[in-house]
Structure 1
Amino acid sequence: MATLYRNGEVYSPADPFATALLVEGDRVLFVGSDDAAEAAAFGADEVVDLQGALVVPGFVDAHVHATQTGLTLTGLDLSGVRTLADALAAVERHAATHPGIVLGHGWDETSWPERRPPTTAELDRAAGDRPVYLSRVDVHSAVASSALRAAVPGLENLVGHDADGALTRDAHHAVRGVALGSITAAQRAAAQRETRAHAARQGIVALHECGGPDVGGEGDFTALLALAAAEPGPDVFGYWGEWRSAAKARELGAVGAGGDLFVDGALGSHTAALAAPYADAPGTSGHLYLDAGEIAEHLVDCVTNGTQGGFHAIGDRALAAVAEGFAAAAATVGLDRLRIGRHRVEHALMLDPTLIRALVNHGAVASVQPAFDAAWGGPDGMYAQRLGTERAAGLHPFSGLAGVGVPLAFGSDAPVTPLDPWGTVRAAAFPHNPHHAISVRAAFAAHTRGGWRALGRDDGGMLVPGAVASFAVWDVEELVVQAPDDRVARWSTDPRAGVQGLPALSDGATPPRCLRTVVRGETVFTAE
């Protein structure tokens, strides 16, 4: 089947003035003017009048957790709750109207006046004798009711256990496993479908699912891959985060043995591994789950099995261990063999020039989440609370990475931050620290083409003849071109330059609205 899309603005390196594209099957056949496209169509089966809309390559979210995102979209979302009392009231309302376990996500005590999470006793009063699992916004700690705690044998003996407060590390992993294991196969499938449908509504054509034994388990991971293969919607590429599991990852259908293979935890939960203690918790500097030797072993296993590897690393101590591990692996298998694997580092918040050079030298991909900076950056944000303003100002060095050629792939880590690709682009182009800013064009490329490059698919994310027809159509109020050396967002719209515009994303601009999403030639979303 051939479909002609005409009368729009097509973002394509093949023709900066293109207004139409022709799709046949799952491929782009032609990009150019309306007249030329119509001549090439030879009577297309369908003609879509774009009515001036913008057509761009579809977004790729390079780090998601589909089941937990779907459960949050359809269930108890605490991300907008502003006080501890409101959180407990939300739990009570949800428990009164929903049977079974109470699953919630998104609380952030750093923004509450009480500055603490709910206690076990408070959850028991809010939900009665019901099991309750409420993950913190970073998903690296959670609070749980007495009923849920009782369902985890030996919980009190696990590292990270707290009888009254938030659970971290091994204790959290154990409780999360029981909580997520309590949902039915039908509930899980419904959550996964909701995530894919919501992604399609945001113009997202592909998701990188980051699973693992401590994230959702094998059943959840393989069920998602099977569902995505059987039903229309955004493509799903799975990463399995288990140490020295390259062969197993391939057996499970994963494209890589990485994603959330934890080297450390998260700043919000005080579990990211730091070289110096936390400013608001001087007695702790986080935790390393893997040391440099174990990181090297995993990389060697991946190279030997011809599988892409990767790690979750946030703190500077964790990233230093990653750099040391890469160097040790290179000494074992050879630098060139290591580089061609495009092994990934997820999050990579606390990077200095030395650590950035290590990423460059070893050919690593930085899979990062600019929305983290939008949510927690700035002098009054959570990062500054945890680290102090000086260390916090150095987080998320987008320009430092892009400027020396580290490949960037943008994601959300949903449900940690929402599936919001244009918001992600804006966060990288206008971060709290302007020295870390990259251009809108570079940020857009990192969230489209960058996601495909992180998979080893260099031909993805461009609308050119022969490319896979995965794209989105947007209603855009204004198209603008950012000056390449511009740090304060002056704009040029001179069409004589032949440089294509992107939506205005500065303060006060109307956000783009997705009208249609197409995955491999098939429409998976149309706006009503």
Structure 2
Amino acid sequence: MSSLLVRNARIVPVRAADRGTDRAPDAPVDVLVEHGRVTAVGPRLSAPTTAYDEHREVDAAGRWVAPGLWDQHVHLAQWTLTSARLDLTGARSPEQATALVAERVREYPELPVIGWGHRSAGWDREVTVSELDAVTGDTPVVLISGDAHHAWLNTTALLHLALPVRDSVVREAEWFRAYARLSSLIGDDGTSPEAYRRTLDHAAALGIVGLVDYEFSGGAAEWAERWSHGCDLLRLRMSTYAEGLDDVIAMGLRTGDPLPGCDDRATMGPLKIISDGSLNTRTAWCCEPYGDAHRLEYPAGQPNLSGEELRELLARAHAHGLEVATHAIGDAACAEALEAYAVTGARGSIEHAQMVNRADVRRMAELGIRASVQPAHLLDDRDLTEKIWGERSARCFAYRWMLDDGVELALGSDAPVSPLDPWLAMAAAVHRSADEREAWHGEQALTPQEVLAASVDGQPTVGAGSRGDLVLLDRDPLAHSDSPAAAADLLRTMPVAATYVAGREVHSAL
């Protein structure tokens, strides 16, 4: 057992109500954590008299203390692998992408090429396997799109991953199934416990205390193995997909239960369902056709599951004590998902909720369904959204509607689609611009206090009874700013002094 006493810290008020009768103290105070919980907050607290295996005292020297941050949507293995991948985020055409691939093949001819980050929706034509074959020879090449919903493979890679040979990209469900076989091509070195630990250390340095992992492969047994080899740093919620649902049910795991072989910081999360596609691939399911519908097989996108299939999955998960996280990017997909929640009584979230109708936002609130959203996506999707969704962009990333209508917001990154960086996500929701342009639909912007509240897993202002998951900051994240742009810059550059999980130090720059 351990305890932590943080002295001389300024409490950050997480919600506006905290500035009223329950406002945070104006002067620095001490914060005592015992048995993983805050047990006291006040000036000049005494050290605990109970004997602990470890007691740590830290002088915050007037720094600001807030609940630790969460990323509510991460593909942890993919993010861990990203640092070793060929970066294609700057490729503005198929020709630029193939040139980068050719250079990598020349440099490392014996190694497979795994690329990440290209956004082909902005290119002026479709790509082919043939043009990739022309510059890669027998070297296996897999180029994963920036939204992770399709991959451009050469013929060697298609054969290696047991995919039918074709001259087009591999999309959606077919790609998700194939991704689980990628380790057969590249090995597991990039997702070893040591590699995961480096990722978790990086997250802790950003003030993150918990992650919700939506990785396509893996399971409880793999997490127990990682946990025993040094990956027991942060809190973790492990999701499952439909393919793993039988195993989860057979193990008797319900949402919130500790994972076998782990302690109570690693728990079972939700069933994840991908109900539609993405903006980049024009497969997000919409109520109206895309602006370039003449190019598409499905002019308004399409669902991945029928309404009956979706309801059956929700009902089965709900019957076995599992929450459900339903990926829904298009407005039609969001409406269908909410109907499934209403019919089955299932609980959980809409993941992304990228384009919504106002009536569906209100229904989300009535049903008590969370909006698990990734604000940094709006920075990448702004121009493409205007091009292919047009005036519907006013209903995209509609966070002000959500908060005003009483929807619970939970912020995340969808790493590696966006960087695993909660400060970037918060800044994007506050300013809604990544460049010199004005805020994109600034009427949907949030305040720094609102985005902080949506980033701490529902925790209140640090006080007696709250989790002992804390972040010490060198600046006040709620300091007055002259503009949303200035407030966003303050968040985006926030220095983290220390991070604690259940009172245990997991990062320190003090």
Q: TM-score, normalised by structure 2?
A: 0.83
DSSP-derived class of the 1:288 partner: coil
Cα-to-partner distance string for 1:488-512 (whole Å, 9 max, x where unaligned): 659xxxxxxxxxxxxx624578711
Q: Is the 8 A contact 1:244 1:298 kept in 2?
A: no
Per-residue deviation, residues 312-355 of structure 1 (Å, max 9, x unmatched): 111112112112222332xxxxxxxx2xx532111111211221
Which residues of structure 2 form unaligned runs of 5+?
254-258, 260-266, 433-439
Q: Does 1:525 align with 2:507?
A: yes
Which residue of the other structure, out of 159, 166, 170, is the alignment partner of 1:167?
170
Q: For residue 414 of structure 1, what is the amino acid of its counterpart?
A: A
The question of whether the paired residues in 2 share the 8 Å contact of 1:55 and 1:472 is answered with yes
**Pairing partner for 2:196 from 189, 192, 197:** 192
- Deviations 1:425-475 (CA, angstroms, capped at 9, x unpaired): 12222232122122221111111134xxxxxxxxx4642223321121222
Equivalent residues of 1:273, 1:288 under 8 A apart: yes
Q: Is 2:266 the partner of 1:258? A: no
Distance 1:201 1:88, change over 3 A: farther
Q: Which residue of 2 aligns with 1:327?
A: 342
Partners of 1:155 and 1:171 within 8 A in 2: no
Match of 1:160 in 2: none
3-state DSSP class of the match of 2:242?
Answer: coil
What percentage of residue pairs aligned between the two structures are identical? Answer: 29
Q: Which residue of 2 aligns with 1:316?
A: 331
| Higher RCO (CA 8 Å, separation ≥ 6 residues) | 2
Q: Counterpart of 1:525 in 2: which secondary structure?
A: strand
Residues 65 and 415 in structure 1, CA contact (< 8 A), matched pair in contact too:
yes
**Partner SS state of residue 5, structure 2:** strand
Is residue 70 from structure 1 mapped to residue 54 from structure 2 by the alignment? no
RMSD after superposition: 3.0
Between 232-241 and 181-190, the greater mean CA deviation after superposition: 181-190
Aligned equivalent of 2:40:
30
Query: 2:108 & 2:321 partners in 1: Cα distance?
Result: 50
In the alignment, structure 1 residue 16 sits paired with structure 2 residue 25: yes
Map 1:293-312 → 2, pairs under 5 A: 293-312=308-327
Q: Hey, what does 1:236 align to over in structure 2? A: 236
Q: Matched residues in 1 for 2:476 and 2:245: separation? A: 48
* CA offset digits 1:294-323 (Å, max 9, x no partner): 222222212221221231111112112112
Q: 1:131 to 1:26 in 2, by over 3 A?
A: same
Moved over 6 A (4+): none
How far apart are the structure 1 equivalents of 2:431 and 2:284?
A: 25
Aligned to 2:389: 387
Alignment check: 8 A CA contact 1:74 1:191 kept: no
Where does structure 1 lack aligned partners over 5 or more consecutive residues? Answer: 157-162, 330-337, 451-459, 491-503
1:325-404 matches, within 5 Å, as: 325-329=340-344, 338=345, 342-377=347-382, 381-388=383-390, 390-404=391-405
Aligned-partner SS, 1:422: helix
Q: Work out which of the residue numbers 483, 497, 510 in structure 2 matches 1:515.
A: 497
Q: Pick one of 137, 140, 161 that aligns with 2:149.
A: 140
Shift of residue 61, structure 1, vs aligned partner: 0.5
In the other structure, the counterpart of 1:178 is: 181
Number of the residue aligned with 1:270: 282
Take 1:291 and 1:469, find their aligned partners in 2: how far apart are those partners? 43
Q: Distance in 1 between matches of 2:503 and 2:292?
A: 51
1:104 aligns with 2:108: no
Q: Which amino acid aligns with 2:387?
A: Q
- 3-state SS in 2 of match to 1:449: coil
Match of 1:493 in 2: none
Using the TM superposition, give the Cα deviation of residue 81 of structure 1 relative to its aligned residue in structure 2, in angstroms: 4.2
**Matched AA of 1:409:** A
User: Which residue identity lines up with residue 465 of structure 2 in the other structure?
Assistant: G
In structure 2, the CA distance between the partners of 1:402 and 1:299, relative to structure 1 (3 Å rule), is: same
Q: Which amino acid aligns with 1:16?
A: P
Aligned to 2:487, the other structure's residue is in SS state coil
* SS of match in other structure, 1:46: strand
Aligned partners of 1:472 and 1:273: how far apart in 2? 39
What does residue 505 of structure 1 align with? 487
Q: Pick closer, same or farther for the CA change 1:509–1:138 going to 2, 3 Å.
A: closer
- 1:4–1:47: 8 Å Cα contact kept in structure 2? yes
> Which AA in structure 2 matches 1:512?
M
Partner of 1:500: none
In 2, the alpha carbon distance for the partners of 1:433 and 1:467 equals 35
Residue 359 of structure 1 deviates from its aligned partner by: 1.4
In structure 1, how many angstroms separate the alpha carbons of the residues matched to 2:423 and 2:168? Answer: 36
State the partner residue of 1:90. Answer: 100
Determine the C-alpha separation between the residues in 2 that align with 1:117 and 1:19: 60
